[in-house]
Amino acid sequence: MSAVTQSATTLKLALVQMRMGADPAANLQRALELTRQALAGGARLVCLPELFRSRYFCQSEDAGNFALAEPVPGPTTEAFTALAAAHGATIVLSLFERRAAGLYHNTAAIIDGQAGVVGRYRKMHIPDDPRYYEKYYFTPGDLGFQAHDTAAGRLGVLVCWDQWYPEGARLTALAGAEILIYPTAIGWHPEEKAALGARQHAAWETIQRAHAIANGCFVVAINRTGFEPEPGGAGGIEFWGQSFVAAPDGHLLVKAAADEEGVLYAEIDRADIERQRQGWPFLRDRRIDAYGDITRRFRDE
Amino acid sequence: MSAVTQSATTLKLALVQMRMGADPAANLQRALELTRQALAGGARLVCLPELFRSRYFCQSEDAGNFALAEPVPGPTTEAFTALAAAHGATIVLSLFERRAAGLYHNTAAIIDGQAGVVGRYRKMHIPDDPRYYEKYYFTPGDLGFQAHDTAAGRLGVLVCWDQWYPEGARLTALAGAEILIYPTAIGWHPEEKAALGARQHAAWETIQRAHAIANGCFVVAINRTGFEPEPGGAGGIEFWGQSFVAAPDGHLLVKAAADEEGVLYAEIDRADIERQRQGWPFLRDRRIDAYGDITRRFRDE
């Protein structure tokens, strides 16, 4: 009998909340080290934060940062593939994907045990706000909203700005995803924190808990932590950590501190999804005959 | 200069949280009395809870309850039309609509000052759960998700079970609604309250705050309060009150107690909508090219 034996529906998963430094090689080594720690701790699914190989380079528009991009599969997925295979574990990695010369995406790769990369997701909603200049770097995803079968269940991966869009969560859940996983890089502008910080963070947590509620599935958000200075500027971003796992009824199962790096574990039972959906049968009653205008920009005609 | 002068965008609104008794005539009088109180208190928009003329009759399936239905416009809208006209105020009423012999809806009427009934909404998502046997009584709405111009702004009205559907909130906001208004009748099964009550209520509040966040608009939820026994049964529903108004960033502006009847006021500035949407430009980045499958029941083919 193994200590890690689990039932067909229970799962121990781990969120790696990281603080990133200036050296991508060191960040990669740190991510591998924390992933090894998570696997040693019994996690069957390990999720890393958005673009963990580097500082959040989108604080400025600098063509030199395209050098950080890599193919998928590529060096970073290969570094984790061996770990996943050795442990028969599932790993969700966020990467700066170089798809072709001049064509880049904000991508997540799903690595499943010995099968290697079994799926990828290209961030569909791309933000562009002061210090989050992502439209400069990333072409919006063209793979749509998907779910992927893995040893850890059927996973739906989305990325950061996607978390503000109920449509993305819904479409991924309708594809059968049991767990919605959001690698994230979100934080405060220090000069706004006192006035707006608490409400900004509350909104972020609230809307993702609502995705769990609306769809009766688990939601996993993995954020980075720490302060990263704005290149050439006086400001920066204070990433707010507080990675979490929400249950299908929206309550928080676990939540990390704001400023600590480390591995956050959660034990979930995927059978809770069907129990929750039987109790609150929202999927039964969707008015699919009346939702067509969701594909309009605005209903002003 | 009048004490009730307001700027073009500020608005004082009132939520009437009610406890319903067995006598519809008495409930109507109580609703009128609380509405008069709200108008005397300076409210320009008054919102009443779901089906306030009677106890929540959907706790049982009883053909005798169809006698509670009435046309819209009809006696109840007429009772409020005079009040709205006299005060130049806007009133949102929830009604059991008799549309034709054997055809009934769970409807909301929007009454706007001297213009009378300027719009109606027929509940689109109809629940059916123990003690909430609404599918027996109500034909699902056929008017879709709309917004209505009134003196109190452009209003989107939805009803109770709709609040669990991000699609309804989105479509109503895309129709230009500045305030989403949810007349509600939701409560605990007393035998479940200890185990599930806190999480059930938190989910309800969370998902509606998320509608405010996702759409950058105000959300108003008006619930009933008090215990109503199940006809012929040993149970009943303990309505949980806690009516609230959420701002476009999702934070709660005001919230009523669980067990108190009365008028809850909020002062809002509709200009906050555009400020919020400029700060967090979610509407800018919707992937309308990729949302088509929202109209599918499940993406399993």
| Strand-strand pairing, B225-229 and B252-255 | unpaired
Task: Give the number of other Cβ atoms within 10 Å of residue A135's Cβ.
Answer: 15
Please indicate if any CB of chain A lies within 8 Å of the CB of B189. no
Test mutation, A171, A200, A283, chain B, max B CBs within 10 A: A171
What's the rounded Cα separation, in Å, for the pair A253 and B117? 47
| Block residue for tokens 């969120």 | A15
Measure the CA–CA gap between A220 and B214, rounded to whole angstroms: 19
Which burial class, exposed, middle or buried, applies to A79 when counting CB atoms under 10 A from its CB (0-12, 13-18, 19+)?
Answer: middle
Tens digits of per-residue pLDDT, A24-81? 999 999 999 999 999 999 999 999 999 999 999 999 999 999 999 999 999 999 999 9
Q: Which among B206, B214, B296 is the nearest to A250, CB-wise?
A: B206
Tell me the pLDDT tens digit for each residue of B61-71.
999 999 999 99
- C-alpha span between B138 and B69 (Å, rounded): 10
* Residue in this structure with the two tokens 């123990």, named with its chain if needed: B130
Backbone CA torsion sign across A141, A219, B207, B120: positive
CA separation for the pair A152, A272 (Å, rounded): 15
Please say if the pLDDT value at position A18 is more than 70: yes
Residues 6+ apart with CB under 8 A from A40: none
Instruction: Share the mean pLDDT of chain A.
Output: 96
> Mean pLDDT, to the nearest integer, of B182-203?
96
Locate A133 and state its tokens.
Answer: 């200049």
Give residue B232's pLDDT band: very low, low, confident or very high (50, 70, 90): confident
What mean pLDDT do residues B177-187 have?
98
Tokens of B25: 């005539």
Q: Does the pLDDT of residue A205 top 80, yes or no?
A: yes
Question: What is the amino acid identity at position A65?
Answer: N
CATH superfamily of A11-283: Carbon-nitrogen hydrolase (3.60.110.10)
**Chain A CB within 8 Å of residue B170 CB:** yes
**Global pTM exceeds 0.90:** yes
R_g over Cα of chain A: 19
Place B5 in a pLDDT band, splitting at 50, 70 and 90.
Answer: very low
* Residues linked to residue A162 through DSSP beta bridges, in sequence order: none
What pLDDT is stored for residue B233 in this prediction?
Answer: 83
- Nearest-CA residue of chain B relative to A296? B288
Looking at residue A127, its pLDDT comes to 98
**DSSP three-state, residue B70:** strand
User: What pLDDT score was predicted for residue A1?
Assistant: 35
- Give pLDDT, residue A233: 83
Please name the amino acid found at residue A74.
Answer: G
pLDDT class of B7 with cuts at 50, 70, 90: low
pLDDT-based confidence at A7, cuts 50/70/90? low
Closest C-alpha to A122, from A76, A170, A157, A151: A157
SS3 A264: strand
Of all residues in chain B, the percent with pLDDT exceeding 90 is 96
B8 falls in which pLDDT band (50, 70, 90)?
confident
Phi first, then psi, for residue A253 (nearest 5°) are -85, -45
Look at residue A3 and tell me whether its pLDDT is greater than 70: no
Smallest CA–CA distance, residue B151 to chain A, in Å, is 20
> Encoding tokens for residue B44?
């320009």
Residues of chain A with C-beta less than 8 angstroms from the C-beta of B300 = 176
Cβ atoms of B243 and B264 within 8 Å: the answer is yes
Query: Cα(A32)–Cα(A52) distance, rounded to whole angstroms?
Result: 11
**Strand, coil or helix: what is A246?**
strand
Q: What pLDDT does residue B205 have?
A: 98
Q: What is the pLDDT of residues B266-285, one digit of tens each?
A: 999 999 999 999 999 999 99
